[in-house]
Amino acid sequence: MRSKVKRILSVLIALAMVLTVGAGIQPSDVFADGEIALTVQKEGKTVKTFTMEELEAIAVSEGDEGVKKTYNYTAWNVNPSFSEYSGIQGPTVEEILTKAGVAEYLKDTGTVTFKSVDKYVGTLTGKQLREDRYFYPHGDLVTPATGYIPVDAYEKAEKVPAVISLSGEKTLYVGQVAPNEQNNPIFVKFMAQGGVIDVSTKEAERCSQVKVDKASGTLQQPGTEITISAPEDISWDYDKIYFTFESDKSPNYGCPIYNCGPKQDIVYKPVCEEGNCTLKIRVKGYGKQDSVLQTFTYYAGDALTVKVNGVTKKSYATGDDVAATGKTANNVSYSGFNNYPTRSEKTDRTGITVASIIEDATGLVPGSTLPDDAIITFTTGVDGYTTKLTAGQIFEDRYYYPKGAAGTDSTGGAVKAAAYEGKKKVPAILETGNKHSLIFGQTEPNEQNFTECVHEMLMLGQIDIDTESSPEKCEAVTSATPADGSTIVIGQKIELPFPSKKNKRDKICYLIDPEEGVLPGLAGGFYNYSPKRDSEKLSNKPVFNTVGKHTLKVRTVGYGKKSSDVTTFTYNVVPAKVTGFKASSSGYNALTLRWSRTTGATGYEIYRKSGSSYKLLKTITSGSTTSYKVSGLKTGTTYYYKIRAVANDEQGQKVRGSEVSASGKPIPASPSLSLKTGKRKATVKWSRVSGASGYQILRSTRQSSGFKVVKTIKKGSTRSYVNRSLKKGKTYYYKVRAYKTVSGKKVYGSYSTVKKVKIK
């Protein structure tokens, strides 16, 4: 009886130890044999308990009976201060979960919660528990408040698992992913003295995002500190804000910690240095998924710097400094094309004129002391995008064309008169709002000027003026396909070589039959209207739409360069070659010539072979005529013909296209056929064929094969035949053709349509 009571008391004590979790009861250092030292739960329900003896057994190294594994741990706490723990022995958390049968149950986004009897709770996600963690013997070289980790801190690192010690305060120990990780808050004490491990597949919450005091995309002075604030629901004690400016990194353990010691209000603020600063922030917390990555971009330095021949003349710290010294253009509209090309408008823009900025910074006056061939380079500090223009190009008369869409061709064709209506002269400006863009008007309504509109010029932008160098000359077009002097057909496209890659933004401009003294330029056609796409499919090839002698003038133009020399190509344009030319029989003594209508043709010339040469047979005076009948021909004789399109040039001279051949011979026409059934017979009737000497009747029991001659009619006037002794109920197929006897030989015509009859 006493033994039974003792066992009952032992169970009650063990249950009491489990119930003390979170109740604030300090555990005993000594557990009696058989008492529950640790409980493993799944979704809050107990799945297995462990006694101290069972935990001791798990902690023994495999293959080394009685030998326990020993681990060392380093840690930073939230103060921050560094600690090192040596000679830790005990089972790993992974081994405990495996013995309990829940190891595979834990997923990366699930959680494992460690509950101590003194109410302390620590939680890790499955990913945090299982990621590689280390003991860093030189981790004390790190000072979290500086955000700097010396390379030496990583030396002699040892990989360690998460362990529950079986001596001392029976603590949960976890290693560090990086030497500055503040892992001490997850060191839960008294775990092997009645603690609970609860595994859950419920997806861990995600850490909250933060706010910054400087708006992304703004200009800052070098050395500016960025202050980070967190939402009220963030745990400043344990959730850490990691950040980095390095483009190839994502904020993680090992990166600087913003709130490294929140209890002492220790923060390490990101500092925006000279140039582009891309600040990346992520919040990490134990038992939580990382926050969504946040990215903030800043530009540290002067808003705009103006240089002459490489020497800085003036820098403007802010856009307001630029506005204070320049001439403002208010509510100005601009028109333009981009690379595709797609025409668009930028309406009601406000900015500082480029001319006034240059004059203020350098004293150079466009159109006066600033040479037209000076090269001006505009560069944005945001992404380094650059465009070059000569002073003459950017400060020449430029316009807003409100009717440009009505008078320009999307394929880069020449400008129509309607495009010039209502034009307004506009200056080149740097916008003080919107995207702080360099923007300027068009000299012609189809100019693709928007490709050179550099954005973010008041974000570390530079204007570099080169008065010492001479602008290079654009690459000239020296060849074409077909070659200069070729004879080509009307509508045939001329191919020109694209500029070399270094001149990819240069335009090949052309004019067809320009007036004397008129040179190809932006008002003409563009060959490579979309140069960045550099594709034959996106080229606007010159086409001649009339016959005669034509001239093609070509010149390459480019921003920041001198235009190339003009190259002239001449072509003899003739009507296109006739297509679909055929000679078909139209009876025993005639042929009908047929062809397709030919582009550009005002008529056709038809020739027939006579002996060894061809002689003109007929001149057709209409380009829409597509047939001609030739009569009085000999049955069975093959005749040969040629045809070519003709058209008149601007001087009224006849221009002829290439010849096309066809041949044919007159044969008797195909008769019409009808059948009538009778008792074991079929009556075959056909239409009379002009010029026929007789007819040939063929029969088969199949529709498309097996035909044999059943009767040859020797009179052209005969129009019927009775085929007797046929099988009742059987179906027969018939066809008939006429023939004409010429010089003792039969010349057969085409067969009639096959007809069938079922015998009664």
Q: Using alpha carbons, select from 59, 38, 18, 46 the residue that is nearest to residue 163.
A: 59
Phi and psi (nearest 5°) for 257?
A: -105, 125
d(CA 629, CA 609): 16
Place of tokens 């008391």: 9
d(CA 15, CA 11): 6
When pLDDT is cut at 50, 70 and 90, the band that residue 501 belongs to is: confident
Contact criterion met (CB below 8 Å) for 387 and 370: no
Task: Collect all residues with Cβ–Cβ distance below 8 Å to 654 and sequence separation of at least 6.
Answer: 646, 647, 648
Q: What is the mean pLDDT of residues 130-142?
A: 96
Residue by residue, DSSP assigns 708-758 as: EEEEEE--TT--EEEE-SPPTT-EEEEEEEEEEEETTEEEE------EEEE
The pLDDT tens digits for 610-629 are: 999 999 999 999 999 999 99
> Does residue 203 carry a pLDDT above 50?
yes
When pLDDT is cut at 50, 70 and 90, the band that residue 411 belongs to is: low
When pLDDT is cut at 50, 70 and 90, the band that residue 536 belongs to is: low
Contact criterion met (CB below 8 Å) for 667 and 748: yes
The pLDDT tens digits for 704-733 are: 999 999 999 999 999 999 999 999 999 999
Contact criterion met (CB below 8 Å) for 241 and 258: yes
Contact criterion met (CB below 8 Å) for 623 and 648: no
The reported pLDDT for the residue numbered 27 is 54
The pLDDT tens digits for 450-471 are: 989 999 999 999 999 999 999 9
Residue by residue, DSSP assigns 447-509 as: --GGGG--S-TTTTEEEEEESSSPPPBPPPP---BSPTT-EEETTPBPB-PPPPGGGTT-EEE
Contact criterion met (CB below 8 Å) for 44 and 111: no
Helix (H) or strand (E) holding 55: helix 52-59
Phi and psi (nearest 5°) for 244?
A: -155, 150
The reported pLDDT for the residue numbered 25 is 38
User: Structure tokens of 272?
Assistant: 């925006």
The pLDDT tens digits for 314-341 are: 999 999 999 998 899 999 999 998 876 7
Contact criterion met (CB below 8 Å) for 434 and 408: no
Given the DSSP bridges, would you call strands 613-620 and 627-630 parallel, antiparallel or unpaired? Answer: unpaired
The pLDDT tens digits for 150-198 are: 999 999 999 999 999 999 999 999 999 999 999 999 999 999 999 999 9
Burial of 535 (0-12, 13-18, 19+ CB in 10 A): exposed
Q: Higher-confidence residue: 343 or 262? A: 343
C-alpha distance across the termini of the chain, in Å: 119
The reported pLDDT for the residue numbered 13 is 38
> Does residue 28 carry a pLDDT above 80?
no
Contact criterion met (CB below 8 Å) for 664 and 583: yes
When pLDDT is cut at 50, 70 and 90, the band that residue 388 belongs to is: very high
d(CA 450, CA 428): 12
The pLDDT tens digits for 640-695 are: 999 999 999 988 899 999 999 999 999 999 999 999 999 999 999 999 999 999 99
The mean pLDDT of the chain is 90
d(CA 678, CA 263): 118
Q: Which residues of 373-383 are buried (b: 16+ CB within 10 A; e: fewer)?
A: ebbbbbbbbbe
The pLDDT tens digits for 114-126 are: 999 999 999 999 9
> Does residue 234 carry a pLDDT above 70?
no
- DSSP state, residue 258: T
Given the DSSP bridges, would you call strands 525-526 and 548-557 parallel, antiparallel or unpaired? Answer: unpaired
d(CA 348, CA 332): 5
Q: Using alpha carbons, select from 642, 625, 503 the residue that is nearest to residue 581.
A: 642
- DSSP state, residue 274: S
Helix (H) or strand (E) holding 407: helix 404-407
Q: What percent of the chain has pLDDT over 70?
A: 91
HSE at residue 244, side-chain half, CA atoms within 13 A, is 13
The reported pLDDT for the residue numbered 18 is 38
